[in-house]
Amino acid sequence: MENIRIEKAKVLKAKPSLDGIPFGTYFSDHMFLMDYDEGKGWHDPRIVPYANFELSPAAVVFHYAQEVFEGMKAYRSPVGDVLLFRPTENVKRLNSSAERMCMPQVPEDIFIAGLNALIELDKDWVPNVPDTSLYIRPFIIATSPQLGVHASSSYLFAIITCPVGSYYSEGINPVRIMIENNDVRAVRGGTGHTKCGGNYAASIRAGERAEKKGYSQVLWLDAITRRNIEEVGSMNVMFKIGGKIITPALTGSVLPGITRKSCIELLKSWGYDIEEREISIDELLAAAKDGSLEEAWGTGTAAVISPIGEISFEGENHLIGNNKIGNLTQRLYDTLTGIQWGKTEDTFGWSVKVC
Ligand X SMILES: *Cc1c(COP(=O)(O)O)cnc(C)c1O
**93 touches 70 (CB < 8 A):** yes
Question: Binding mask 45-84 vs ligand X (x if CB under 6 A, - otherwise)?
Answer: --------------------------x-------------
Smallest gap from Cβ 39 to ligand X, in A, equals 32
**337 is a site residue for ligand X (CB under 6 A):** no
The whole-angstrom separation of Cα 249 and Cα 258 is: 14
Nearer to ligand X, 165 or 300 (CB): 300
Which span (18-26, 56-64, 299-307, 321-329) binds ligand X, by CB under 6 A?
A: 299-307
Smallest gap from Cβ 186 to ligand X, in A, equals 8
Nearer to ligand X, 59 or 184 (CB): 184
The whole-angstrom separation of Cα 341 and Cα 351 is: 9
Nearer to ligand X, 179 or 258 (CB): 258
Question: Binding mask 244-283 vs ligand X (x if CB under 6 A, - otherwise)?
Answer: -----------x-xxxx-----------------------
- Site for ligand X (CB under 6 A): which residue of 116, 152, 217, 299? 299
Count, residues near ligand X per rule CB under 6 A = 14
Nearer to ligand X, 245 or 255 (CB): 255
Smallest gap from Cβ 116 to ligand X, in A, equals 19
Helix (H, G, I), strand (E, B) or coil at 99: helix
Nearer to ligand X, 236 or 351 (CB): 236
Nearest to 304 by CA among 345, 259, 255: 259
Nearer to ligand X, 71 or 174 (CB): 71
**Backbone phi, psi, residue 22, to 5°:** -65, 145
Question: Which residues 195-234 are close enough to bind ligand X by CB under 6 A?
Answer: 195, 231, 234
The whole-angstrom separation of Cα 162 and Cα 119 is: 11
Q: How many CB atoms lie within 10 A of CB 199?
A: 20
Helix (H, G, I), strand (E, B) or coil at 148: coil
- Site for ligand X (CB under 6 A): which residue of 66, 236, 253, 329? 236
**31 touches 50 (CB < 8 A):** yes
DSSP code string of 70-89: --EEEEE-TTS-EEEESHHH
Nearer to ligand X, 146 or 234 (CB): 234
Nearer to ligand X, 122 or 231 (CB): 231
Smallest gap from Cβ 20 to ligand X, in A, equals 23
Smallest gap from Cβ 235 to ligand X, in A, equals 5
**Amino acid of residue 60:** V
**Backbone phi, psi, residue 257, to 5°:** -70, 145
DSSP code string of 254-320: S---HHHHHHHHHHHHTT--EEEE--BHHHHHHHHHHT-EEEEEEEETTTEEEEEEEEEETTEEEES
According to DSSP, the β-strands at 154-164 and 30-37 are antiparallel
Smallest gap from Cβ 301 to ligand X, in A, equals 3
- Site for ligand X (CB under 6 A): which residue of 66, 144, 216, 301? 301
Binding site for ligand X (CB under 6 A): 71, 195, 231, 234-236, 255, 257-260, 299-301
